[in-house]
Amino acid sequence: MLNPFDIVIFGGGGDLALRKLLPAMYRAYQEGNLPEGSRILPTVREESKQQEYVETAQQALKSFLGDGEFNNRDWKAFSQYLVPVVINVTEADNHWDELRAILQQDAEDKSRVFYLSLPPAVYGTCCEILSKKKLITATSRVVVEKPIGYCGESAEEINGKIAQYFSEEQIFRIDHYLGKETVQNLMALRFSNALFENLWDAKSIDNIQISISETVGLESRAGFYDKAGALRDMVQNHLLQLLCLVAMESPHKLNANSIRAEKLKVLEALRPLVDEQVDDNIVRGQYVPGELGGKMVPGYLEELGEGSSKTETYVAIRANIDNWRWAGVPFYLRTGKRMKKRCAEIVVEYKRVSHNVYDESVGPIQPNRLVIRLQPEETIQLTLMSKRMDNLNMELQPVTLNIELSQQYGSSFHSDAYKRLMLDAAANNPALFIHRDEVRQAWQWIDPIIERWQTKGAPALYRAGSWGPEDADELLQENNHAWFNVGEQA
C-alpha cells in the first residue's frame, strides 16, 4: 500500500481538475487506494471560491462520475481529504507561505505532488515560486500536462524552466493515454505471448493502423484548440506514444528507464516528413456540418464562431519506421473530431500466405487481422480463415476470435487513467510518464509538418459524422490498403 501523500492541484477550480482529477482521487478512495493521512489541496484564486470549494467538488463528482459511483457515505469520508487553498500562481504573495505551513504540518519526507493543471505558459513561474517559497523538498514531484509547448523550441523553453527547479526524476509529464489499462495491456500482449513476439515484424506484418476517432467537436475549448489543432493536441503525444508501444523493441526490464529508452529509439527511427513529403503522406481535414448520431451538428467554423480558420480537426499520416524490424511496413496514424464513431484501436494486418494451395472456387484468402480496441469497448479480435462447416464443399471464410476484456472483471473496478497516473506520481513511479528526450524527439518530427502547413495548402473538408476526408481514403489506396472503420467490416 502506498504511503500517505499530499497532492496540490494548481488550477483546482478548472475543467481538468473538476472533470478528471477529483473523480480520479474519489475512485482511488473508494477502492481503498487513497492512504489515510493523505491530503488533496486544490488551489483557487479567491477566498469566496475556497469557501465554496467543497460544494463545487461535490457537484463535480455528481456530474462527472459514472452511474452509481457517487454515494453520500463515501463522499463524506472523501471530503475530509480535501483542503482547498487560495493561491495566485503567478504572484509570490503570503498565500504561498500559508500553503507551506499546511504542508509542513506533516513530516518533511512525506511525498508531495504538485500537479500543474494550468496553461503551460505559467509552468515556469509557478515552479519558480515553489522554489523561492521553499516548498520543494527531496520527496516533491511536479506533474505537467500535455501538450508541452507549441513547437520544439517552446517545449524546450518550458522544459528548461521546470528543470531549473526540479530534477528530471522529479518531473512527471502526463500523457493520459499511457494510464489507460488497455494501453498497458498492449505491452502485456506483446511481451508475454510468444505468439505475438514471433510475428511482430516486417516479415509477417503488412501494415499497421493506429486510429483515435472522436465524436465530440470543439466543446468549450475554442481558445486552446484553434491554436493547437489535432496535430499538436493528439498526434504529437497520444498517437506517437501508441506508435512507440506498438513498434518498440522489448525493454530488457519493465522499468521506466528501459521503456523510455526503447520508445525513444522508435521516435528517432521515424522517417522525417519534410516539404513535399508532408503533402504526399499527410492529409489534414476540418469538419463541416453533418449528421451525427441522428442529428445535425454544426461545422468547426460555426462552433468556433469565426468565418475562417485553417486549424485541422483531423489528421491522417502514412509513416515509416526506418529500422530492421519495420522496414517497408507503413504505419497509418489517424485522429479526428466529429467522426462517425468514438473508437481508439490498433489494427495489425498480416501478410497473405506465401503460396495459395486452393483454387479460386474456395473464395479469396484474406490476410489475418489483429484488432486491439482500446475504447469504448476493450476487445481483442483475431480474424482467421477457416473452412465453412455448413456444407461438404471446400469453401473458406473469415472467422473472428473475440475477447471482451471488460467481461472478465467485476463492475467495481473503474479503469481511470488519471487515477492510475496520479497514484503513480505519488508513489514515485515514472514508468508511464514521458521523458524530456521523448518530448524533444516527438517535436522534431512534428515541427517540419507544422512549418509546411503554415505556408502551403489548407485542410480538406469532411462532413461531421463521416470517417474523414476522401483524400485520406486515397492515401491508403495508393498502397492498396483501406482504413479499418469500426462496425463496417465484412
Q: Which residues are annotated as a binding site for NADP(+)?
A: 45, 146
CB of 233 to ligand BG6, least distance (A): 5
What CA dihedral angle connects 86, 87, 91 and 92, to 10 degrees? 90
Nearer to ligand BG6, 87 or 178 (CB): 178
> Residues 325 to 344: which contact ligand BG6 by CB under 6 A?
344
Does 214 bind ligand BG6 (CB under 6 A)? Our answer is yes
Nearer to ligand BG6, 147 or 469 (CB): 147
CB of 370 to ligand BG6, least distance (A): 21
Nearer to ligand BG6, 215 or 320 (CB): 215
Nearer to ligand BG6, 233 or 349 (CB): 233
CB of 173 to ligand BG6, least distance (A): 13
CB of 176 to ligand BG6, least distance (A): 6
414 included as an active-site residue: no
> From the annotation, which residues make up the binding site for substrate?
176, 180, 214, 233, 337
One residue of 6, 233, 416, 438 binding ligand BG6 per CB under 6 A: 233
User: Which residue out of 238, 355, 414, 481 is catalytically annotated?
Assistant: 238
> Residues 416 to 435: which contact ligand BG6 by CB under 6 A?
none
What binding mask, one character per residue, do residues 368-397 give for ligand BG6 by CB under 6 A, x or -?
------------------------------
CB of 406 to ligand BG6, least distance (A): 16
Give the residue closest to ligand BG6 by C-beta: 233
Nearer to ligand BG6, 6 or 233 (CB): 233
Active site residues: 238
In the complex, the residues that contact ligand BG6 under the rule CB under 6 A are 214, 216, 233, 344
